[in-house]
Amino acid sequence: MIKIAQLSCGNDYSGIQNEIEKAAETVGAKIVFPDVDIDFDEAVEEFGFNPVSPGLKLMIARAKALADKSFEADAVLIATCFRCAEGALIRNELRRYLQRHTRLPVVMYSFTENTKASVLLTRMEALVTIVKRKDLLGRERQVGITMGLDSGSATTKAVIMQDNKIVGKYWSPTTTVLESAEKVVAEALKEAKMDLKDIESVGTTGYGRYILGQHYKAKLVQEELTVNSKGAVFLADKQKGEATILDIGGMDNKAITVMDGIPDSFTMGGICAGASGRFLETTAKRLGVEIFELGEMAARGDLHKVPMNSYCTVFGIQGLVSALAEGYTKDDVAAAACRSVAEQIYQQQLQEIDVRFPVIQVGGTSLLKGLVKAVGDILKTEPLVPQNSQFIGAVGGALLCSGFI
Amino acid sequence: MKVFIYPPNSMILQDLVERFGHKPLALAKEIERRVNDPELDSPPMNITEIDVKVGLKYAAIEVPSGVRGRLAMFGPLIDEAEAAIIVNNFPSTFGCMACARTNEITIYLIKQKKVPTLELEYPTNDEEVEDFIARIKNFLEGLK
């Protein structure tokens, strides 16, 4: 059984420990707490950051036990209370410390009393996948005829691959999981000039992965963090070395750092729609344009011209509408919307990982030129957008499931 | 009298308060009650989502959930307190609240009660230990 070492403060008094353990158990893992000496001042002193809260000192001592290998674990969950400044500082420094001193995959989370197992499930599953399926994740070539299905919150995608090449693909907005999938599968098969019986292996990912996995008898049903990163490095032809994959989704965002195509750290947002593709969708509707047109407009506009007072999907967009009334052009307003999303991702999520270059921007939103420009402006780099970047999940699924043929 | 002790999980303070004929308002009893309650299922402390909201009586929503969860346990004990003993600068083996922010608000809430309070520094040598015990004894004997 995979052992996930929990380094946390405030979890028991927030009443969420049960949820953490439930999530781990669901994915076949076990939460463990590294044993440490009761007098952990020495460990804290050695670490060099002396927080006032003893709970945080204990976290440091536990991290040190992992780094010293006096306690064995397969992965690490670092969690502290949402809104605790001292906790946030320690959380981040411990993540860096562990990444410097161990090869353990790490995920961080800041919780509230409302945190439920379902929220933690994808993160736990990804930790387990990284540990358990390292060999599968190391797969660099697709073989045979396989199909990848990505059932996302906003869109459903299907990709058919044959001998390491995409031969059929289709995407459609998600309405109901199964209906949307049947539609994209039929279209992708049509393009590939194949029947469903020709497919040797199916891989599913995304929110609807379990339903689709059952329906299509998938050999691989896997969370989107590891599948997407695999698809991204494959499409960007960056299977060796370091990279950061940024996937701004319709409902949540993923930022994943990889080494040789295998994720070693990731962060997954999902608290605020203002930091997701939804914000841009709503802005496009308010401007009376299609979402892709918004991307083109934003690329033409000035990212810094329109001042924004809020990142909120309601108040931020109200601000953009006011800007139009003040005489700013639609292009500049569209650019401000893209900057708003990029800034929030930078402030909320990219702080939780060490951004490594190149940055590979993927997912449907990577087709919005203005958003890619805004991300590049903030990170001072030119994000790499591979061809078919909106299909990374499906490509990752098709690539990985070929390991089961 | 009901005496709130700080740190609230100090077995030494709890024992001293009981020895001198008072009722300690301590965490151990509160945890025992929760752990034995068959209706609650949120180990290890059996703090529930509703408890953490109870903590809003003592701290605002912006305050981290771990602080509010602790206050949901300590707050009602402070409300009941007729006297208090506060020990400062103690090592974690003497008692541990784990969270510095909870420490600050707990001590503040006790002081706001304006009940007879004894505030002491944690002893570091034999002489200080004797003085520490003697002062607690005198304080508890003086409570009516």
Q: What is the ipTM of this complex?
A: 0.83
Distance (Å) of CA A130 to CA A2, A180, B95: 11, 29, 39
CATH of domain A139-225+392-404: 3.30.420.40
**Closest Cβ–Cβ partner in B47, B93, B100 for A38:** B93
Residues A119-141 have pLDDT tens digits of 888 889 889 988 888 888 889 99
**Tens digit of pLDDT for each residue in A244-299?**
999 988 777 889 988 888 887 788 876 677 778 888 888 899 889 998 899 999 99
The 3-class secondary structure across A268-298, one letter per residue, is ECCCCHHHCHHHHHHHHHHHCCCHHHHHHHH
Interchain pair B47, A14: CB under 8 A: yes
CATH C-level class of A2-132: alpha beta
B122 interface with A at CB cutoff 8 Å: no
Q: What residue of A is the nearest CA neighbor of B102?
A: A53
Q: Enumerate the residues of chain A whose CB falls inside 8 A of the CB of residue B98.
A: 9-10, 53-55, 58
User: What is the fold of A242-385?
Assistant: Nucleotidyltransferase; domain 5 (3.30.420)
Reported as a pLDDT band with limits 50, 70 and 90, residue A147 is very high
Region A3-24 average pLDDT: 94
Contact call for residues B64 and A10 (beta carbons, < 8 A): yes
Residues of chain A with CATH 3.40.50.11900: 2-132
Q: Which residues pair with A155 in a beta bridge?
A: A173
A2-11, A216-225, A307-316: segment of lowest average pLDDT: A307-316
Q: Which residue has the higher pLDDT, A265 or A29?
A: A29
Q: A231-240, A243-252, A366-375, B98-107: lowest mean pLDDT where?
A: A243-252
Structurally, chain B folds into a number of domains equal to 1
Taking CA atoms, what residue in A is nearest to B66?
Answer: A10
Average pLDDT rounded to a whole number, residues A161-185: 95
* Ranges in chain A annotated CATH 3.30.420.40: 139-225+392-404, 242-385
Q: What is the CATH number of the domain that holds B32?
A: 3.40.50
What pLDDT is attached to residue A347?
84
**B96 contacts A17? CB cut-off 8 A:** no
Residue B40 has pLDDT above 70, yes or no: no
Closest CA to A6 of A118, A104, A89, A85: A104
Yes or no, beta carbons of B98 and A54 under 8 Å apart:
yes
Test A15 with B70 for CB contact under 8 angstroms.
no
* Nearest residue to A108 via CA among A391, A385, A351: A351
Mean pLDDT over B93-113 rounds to 89
pLDDT surpasses 90 at A214: yes
Nearest Cβ partner for B52 among A18, A52, A113: A113
* CA A5-A15-B82 angle, 5° bins: 125
Overall average pLDDT of the A88-102 stretch: 90
Q: Do A84 and B51 touch (CB under 8 A)?
A: no
* Residues of chain A found within 8 Å of residue B62, distances taken between Cβ atoms: 83
Q: What pLDDT score does A271 carry?
A: 60
A-chain residues near B99 (CB < 8 A):
9-10, 13, 53-55
* Cβ atoms within 10 Å, residue B121: 12
Give residue-wise pLDDT tens across range A296-346: 999 999 998 888 777 777 777 888 888 888 999 999 999 999 999 999 888
- pLDDT greater at residue A323 or residue A394: A394
Between CA A115 and CA B64 the distance in angstroms is 13
pLDDT in tens, A355-370: 889 999 998 899 999 9
Contacts of A3 (CB under 8 A, 6+ apart): A29, A30, A32, A72, A73, A74, A75
Checking if the pLDDT of B96 tops 80, the result is no
Bridge partners (DSSP) of residue A255 are A246, A267
Domain extent, residue B129, equals: 2-142
Q: Report the greatest alpha carbon distance in chain B.
A: 48
To the nearest 10°, report the CA torsion of B14, A58, B119, B138.
30
Res A270: pLDDT: 62
Once rounded to an integer, what is the mean pLDDT over residues A147-168? 94
Q: Residues of B with CB below 8 A from A9's CB?
A: 66, 98-99
Q: Rounded to the nearest 5 degrees, what angle is found at the Cα of B48, between the Cα atoms of B47 and B54?
A: 90
A169 contacts A393 by C-beta, under 8 angstroms: no
Q: pLDDT at position A36, please?
A: 93
CA A348 to chain centroid:
13
A114 to chain B, closest Cα gap in Å: 7
pLDDT-derived band of residue A395, with 50, 70 and 90 as boundaries?
Answer: very high
CA separation for the pair B89, B55 (Å, rounded): 25
The sign of the torsion formed by the CA atoms of A254, A260, A262, A264 equals: negative
Give the C-alpha separation, A153 to A221, whole Å: 17
Which residues 32-71 of B have a C-beta within 8 angstroms of A? 41-45, 47-49, 51-53, 62-70
The two three-digit tokens of residue B122, written as one number: 């944690």
CB B20 within 8 A of CB B85: no
Of B47, B92, B97, the CB nearest to A12: B47
pLDDT score for A300: 95
- Whole-model pTM over 0.90: no
Q: Which of A9, A13, A53, A58 to mutate to test the interface with B (most CBs of B within 10 A)?
A: A13
